[in-house]
Amino acid sequence: MTVTTSRRRTAAVAVLAAGLLTATAACGGGSHKKADGASGTPGSKGKVQLTFWDWDPNMDKVVAKWNTAHPDIHVKLSNPAGGDQLVAKMITAHEAKNGPDIAKVEYQSLPALVSKGVVRDITDYTKDTVKKYDATTLKNTVFQDKVYGVPQDTAPLMLFYRADLFKKYGLSVPTTWDAYEADAKTLRAKAPKAPKAYLTNFDAADPGWFTGLAQQAGAAWWSTSGDSWKVDIAGDATRKVAGYWQKLVDEGVIAKNPSFSPEWNKQMNDGTLLTWISGAWAPAQLGGIAPGTKGKWAVAPLPAWTQGDPATGIWGGSATTVTSDSKHPAEAAEFASWLNTDDAAVTEQVKQINVYPAALPGRSLPILKAPPAFFPNQPDFYDQVKKVAPAARSFPMWGPNVTVTFTGYTDGFSKALQSGGSFTGALTTMQNDSVADMKKLGFTVG
């Protein structure tokens, strides 16, 4: 699910990136003003046309609201790709000097785009905007006191479970990982054949969920000291997570097929799988994954390693960025701020896209008093997410070669899953490959 992008970079740029990627929650200076009075690049006169690359379904309905209210700044929406594929297209477009004005970027991809000069410092346009975020969320887009994106959403990991089937099999919603393991064993004992049921599957194809679990456990895969990087992908915290799931796989109490496959969709729909460890965005996906299960799912906090610990990780989350190719950065930054902090715009995103807002005021909007359409049985759905969100952990920073690390996950864990090999061995390979690639790119790794 990752795309290897062009990695050409001089040592000088690599050293610059190491400095840029010293993440901080500080907001930086500058002043945010409207397009015609920004303290950075002056606003343009006359009607401005902006291009916006984004993969969210129904984003056209949100953009239409902007275009109606801002006749002098027209935004043209395009969906050339999603996730890592969009990042690759952004880099290619930047090299050809024909990139979009605005682009959606996942948090883990932003450091690489900053170091490559693809996205622009928008500190001068976002002084008021950043006041609407907490430090934990903002640090995903701020490097060396400079703002490189406006956070769109946050996606704390939650436990989604089939409430009807938990009742059928006499299971209690687990609050710890020990209790989750016990549920997995109990379920297999009660439904070993037909109907055959598992508590969940181990997905070796998508690293997002596993990365979030490592964050919950306290892992910090990347960090910096001066111009030197430290990589700790195979550290104790992540090894604990890998060992836990290895045990469940080896004991045969969870399924082993990848998520987001036709087989997995069927299992989610027919009751073979009872839980999904996923981000707060899951309701937007479940309708397509398991259409016959509307109203049967519920959400709860992620099980904890220690009873009562509210910590969770994240899976996903994105920012709206302004590219360095934009000839209208003030107007582009104005749109990015409106999209993610204006009450009407955020309300429309919740309605159309099921995002959980990154901006603090957005988390108290009236629309969040009603549950997502797929969860009519749980009116406190967003209250549950709101309680969990402040304790969501990310890494102190994302590394400059996340695609290499994520590819290492899919390769290493898939092989281990198929052969019965060691998950911690796969982590060691991920660590070694990531370090080797960073050194090849010119980074100093201590």
Residue 334, SS3?
helix
Q: How many CB atoms lie within 10 A of CB 226?
A: 10
Q: What pLDDT is attached to residue 203? A: 98
pLDDT band at 30 (very low <50, low <70, confident <90, very high): very low
The amino acid sitting at 314 is I
* Domain assignments of the chain as residue spans, ordered by start: 11-154+317-369, 157-314+396-445
Locus of tokens 């398991």: 290
Is the pLDDT at 4 greater than 80? The verdict is no
Where residue 97 falls (left for φ over 0; alpha for ψ -120 to 50; beta otherwise) is left
Tens digit of each residue's pLDDT (9 = 90 or more) over 139-180: 999 988 999 999 999 999 999 999 999 999 999 999 999 999
Chosen CATH of 11-154+317-369 out of 3.40.190.10, 3.40.605.10, 1.10.645.10, 3.40.1710.10: 3.40.190.10
- The percent of residues in the chain predicted with pLDDT above 90, rounded, is 82
Distance CA 156, CA 54 (A): 21
CA dihedral 208, 212, 215, 221 (to 10 degrees): 0
Tens digit of each residue's pLDDT (9 = 90 or more) over 99-132: 999 999 999 999 989 989 999 999 999 999 999 9
Distance CA 350, CA 366 (A): 11
Helical (H) or strand (E) element with 78: strand 73-78
Distance CA 183, CA 173 (A): 8
Q: 11-154+317-369 and 157-314+396-445: same fold?
A: yes
Locus of tokens 């990042």: 87
pLDDT band at 39 (very low <50, low <70, confident <90, very high): very low
Average the pLDDT over each of 3-12, 146-155, 376-385, 427-436 and give the range with the smallest value.
3-12
Is the pLDDT at 444 greater than 60? The verdict is yes
Strand runs (DSSP E) across 127-255, as ranges?
142-143, 146-147, 150-151, 157-162, 222-225, 228-231
Distance CA 190, CA 179 (A): 16
HSE (CB half, 13 Å, CA atoms) of 206?
A: 18
The CATH superfamily assigned to 157-314+396-445 is Periplasmic binding protein-like II (3.40.190.10)
Tens digit of each residue's pLDDT (9 = 90 or more) over 186-219: 999 999 988 899 999 999 999 999 999 999 999 9
Global pTM value:
0.86
Distance CA 446, CA 442 (A): 13
Is the pLDDT at 21 greater than 90? The verdict is no
Q: Which tokens sit at 274?
A: 């009872």
Q: How many CB atoms lie within 10 A of CB 446?
A: 10
The residue length of the chain stands at 446
The amino acid sitting at 419 is S
DSSP state of 293: G
Is the pLDDT at 235 greater than 90? The verdict is yes
Query: Could you tell me which residues come within 8 angstroms of residue 432 by beta carbon, excluding any fewer than 6 positions away?
Result: none
